[in-house]
Every structure is written in structure tokens, then in C-alpha cells.
Amino acid sequence: MARPLIRGLCAVVLAGSAGAAILLGGNAPASAAVTSTVGTVDSGSTPLNIRSGTSVSASTVGALRSGNKVTLVCQVTGQTISGRVRTTNIWDKIADGRYVSNAYIRRGALSPCPSTPPPPPTAPTNVAVTSTVGTVESGNTPLNIRSSATISASTVGALRSGNQITLVCQIAGQTISGRVRTTNIWDKIADGRYVSNAYIRRGALSPCPSASTPPLPPQANPGVATGWVIPVPGTPAQLFRPASNPGHDGVDIMLPRNIPIAAAGAGQVTTVECNTSGPNCDVDGGPNVRGCGWYVDIQHAGQVATRYCHMVRRPSVVEGQWVNAGQIIGYVGTSGNSGGTHLHFEVHVGPGYAVHANAVDPIAFMQRMNAPLGVLTTR
Ligand SMILES: [Zn+2]
């Protein structure tokens, strides 16, 4: 889901006017072909993302507002989404490279697409891993080896076109358009070493045993027994909804740039986005810039969500990824509506997306979780 600009973040830098929703595209025309039907978007107050593939890990290529009519050409299966209309693995195709989750669409019957693309691999539990030898096909440019299944991960090596490489298993990651194919599959070479399958010719390969779903072993965090940890050290300066800023739905913890930010609890990353009225989130924001900057939302068990705003650069995690309490998700910065480097941290309790109505005081919540904010711990 594309998010509207998140307003009223920081009391110290409170700015005036409301931000407009970021919409990357409008109604998408159908390219005809099979049977088509007109559907109605039902996504509440947040826009519905149009994706390049049938999973939230596919890139966003546009968005639709709730109430928009959209012509749908056929349906395919993909990632299961729980939306406002239903929970389903059906995605409705608008045109090649343009899909919306049927979980947010009201419509009549629709034919399956003629050549249904393979669904994204689900993460099975313990599958025997077979390995295979693949051949790199990347033309004149080397193929980067990455520390995780996204091009935002660091480069840890490279392979030349024609190189043979032993691949141990495959995982789902960022969708890449390469010389061989367009795919969200990444081939694992070894722990911390992945190459995009978009540039690899190979035979069958098993999904990795713990591809993305089962959380990794939790990191040590002395003194915390509940599974919740403080996201950063430091005492909140700006509090939750002070009288001077009742729209401030979190707390601000002032910290130097590049301090690591940890997931406060185990859960699934639901949003990784740049939310700004400025040019982008890789530059410092300011009091007159709107939005949360580079931010992450994590959905935890028990209808709890946490939000981490104003990161210095693209977060270290991707949408759909499972994280543990204490796992580093990004670094402190001052992108978006922010007058200085800090972490804006929100906690939401209740059904649905994290909004003003379900925000709770992070200080009281983290106290209950036995990980009180402001207590310096070593991590
Ligand atoms: Zn704030």
C-alpha cells in the first residue's frame, strides 16, 4: 500500500499544512485480451499499490484510491494478502507488469490469465537442500554478489558472464529484470551471498530451508526477558501527544546520525518506504518537509504494530521480511519532517493499518513489555 504523507510527526519541528497523498499513477487502462471486468477499489483511507508482480516484494508502479474504478483483464495467483474485502492469493491483472491484490477489489467474475506466472516461492519448513551449478549470463557487466536478496544490500563480490557457480537454494527477494528473465528469485551461494536469478541459467533448485519466514535466532539483549527490546538507547525528548502537538503519535529520541535502530519486537516488516514531500529521503529533511522519511512498519503478534521514522537511508530490511527483536532494521537520520537527527517511534495496538486512531503511548507500552524506553542497555 502506498501511504499518504504522515503528518504532525515531531513537535520540535511541527509544520502547518496537511500533506497530500503520494500517488504514483492513476487509473490504468486495460490492454484487453481475455474477458475483462470493471472493479472498484476498496482500500479505506490508504491508496492501493499497483505492483509489477503478484507480491508485495514486487516494485510499486502506481497506486489507486479507494473508490477508483479499474478495468481488470484477468486474474492470477500470487502472494496471499489480507485486505479490506477478503483474504486471498488472487491478484488482478491490469496490464503486463501491473497487478493489484484482489484483497482490496470488489468485482464480478474474471477469467484466469492465459499463462499464469509461477507464484512466489513460499518458505517451507525443512526441505532437503539440493545444490545445482548455474551459469552466469550478464553480458559485458559482472553480476554482483549481494549480502541479501536485494540490490540495496551491500556488494560482497562479483561474477563474470560465463562463470559457473554452485547454488545451494533459492529465496524470494527483490524483483529484477535481467538478461535471462524477470524474477524475484535470488539464488543463495552461501550465507550472506546471493545473486539474482535474473542473470543465471540453471536447473531446478529447492527453496532455502528458512528462506524468509521463520525468524532467525534472537540476538542477545541482556536484561530483557519478554522478547521486546528498546529500538535505540536514549530518553524520549518529545513525548506522545503533548498538549502542544496532539497529532504527535509517537516519541522522539534524539540521537546522532547512523545509530542502528533495532526492531522492538519480532514480527513481519509490512512497510519500507520513503514518505516525504521533499525530493527524496536520501537527503536531510526539515521542519517544512512533510512525511516520515525513510521508515519501516513492523506487524507483531497480538495486533501490535511499530513504526520507525526519519532513517538516514533506505532501511536494511524489505517488505515481507520477518525480523527478530533486536534485529537492525535501519539507521538514525533526519529524512522527512524532522529538524534534527532522531528516531520517531510509534506503537499501534488494534486491527488494521497503523493510524492515528490506534496509536498508543510508546513509553507505557514498552514499560509493559519489560523494555522501558530511556533505559540504556548494551546491545
Ligand atoms: Zn516525532
**d(CA 286, ligand 1 centre) in Å:** 12
**d(CA 255, ligand 1 centre) in Å:** 13
Q: How many residues does the chain have?
A: 379
**d(CA 48, ligand 1 centre) in Å:** 26
**d(CA 160, ligand 1 centre) in Å:** 46
Confirm or reject CATH 2.70.70.10 for domain 236-368, answering yes or no.
Answer: yes
**d(CA 342, ligand 1 centre) in Å:** 8
- DSSP state at residue 322: E
**d(CA 9, ligand 1 centre) in Å:** 4
Q: Which residue has the cell 504532525?
A: 8
Cell of 356: 492515528
**d(CA 251, ligand 1 centre) in Å:** 5
Burial 103-142 (b: 16+ CB within 10 A, else e): bbbebeebeebeeebebbbebeeeeeeeebebebbbeeeb
- 3-class SS of residue 364: helix
Q: Looking at the chain, which residues constitute the CATH 2.30.30.40 domain(s)? A: 11-106, 132-201
Cell of 373: 524506553
**d(CA 350, ligand 1 centre) in Å:** 21
Given this structure, which CATH class describes domain 11-106?
Answer: mainly beta
Instruction: Give CA–CA dist 71/62, Å, rounded.
Output: 15
User: Taking Cα atoms as reference points, which of 6, 69, 88, 71 lies closest to residue 34?
Assistant: 71
- What local confidence, expressed as pLDDT, does residue 232 receive? 94
- What local confidence, expressed as pLDDT, does residue 224 receive? 33
**d(CA 246, ligand 1 centre) in Å:** 11
- What local confidence, expressed as pLDDT, does residue 7 receive? 59
**d(CA 136, ligand 1 centre) in Å:** 46
The whole-angstrom distance between residue 44's C-alpha and the CA centroid of its chain comes to 19
- What local confidence, expressed as pLDDT, does residue 20 receive? 28
**d(CA 191, ligand 1 centre) in Å:** 37
**d(CA 293, ligand 1 centre) in Å:** 11
Question: Going residue by residue through the chain (379 aa), what tens digit of pLDDT does each one get?
Answer: 456 677 555 633 322 222 322 222 222 233 334 468 888 999 888 888 888 889 888 888 778 888 888 888 888 988 888 888 888 899 998 877 889 999 999 988 888 887 644 445 444 444 454 688 899 999 888 898 888 888 888 888 888 899 888 888 888 888 888 899 888 899 998 878 899 999 999 888 888 876 444 443 343 333 333 489 999 988 899 999 999 999 999 999 999 999 999 999 999 999 999 999 999 999 999 999 999 999 999 999 889 999 999 999 999 999 999 999 999 999 999 999 999 999 999 999 998 888 999 999 999 999 999 899 985 533 3
**d(CA 337, ligand 1 centre) in Å:** 8
Identify whether the C-beta of residue 32 lies closer than 8 Å to the C-beta of residue 74: no
Cell of 205: 533448485
The CATH superfamily holding the domain 132-201 is SH3 Domains (2.30.30.40)
**d(CA 10, ligand 1 centre) in Å:** 3
Cell of 256: 546522532
Measure Cα distances from 143 to 191, 197, 297 in Å: 18, 10, 31
**d(CA 110, ligand 1 centre) in Å:** 45
Identify whether the C-beta of residue 299 lies closer than 8 Å to the C-beta of residue 271: no
**d(CA 239, ligand 1 centre) in Å:** 8
**d(CA 15, ligand 1 centre) in Å:** 12
**d(CA 236, ligand 1 centre) in Å:** 10
**d(CA 252, ligand 1 centre) in Å:** 5
- 3-class SS of residue 367: helix
**d(CA 329, ligand 1 centre) in Å:** 18
**d(CA 14, ligand 1 centre) in Å:** 9
- What local confidence, expressed as pLDDT, does residue 236 receive? 92
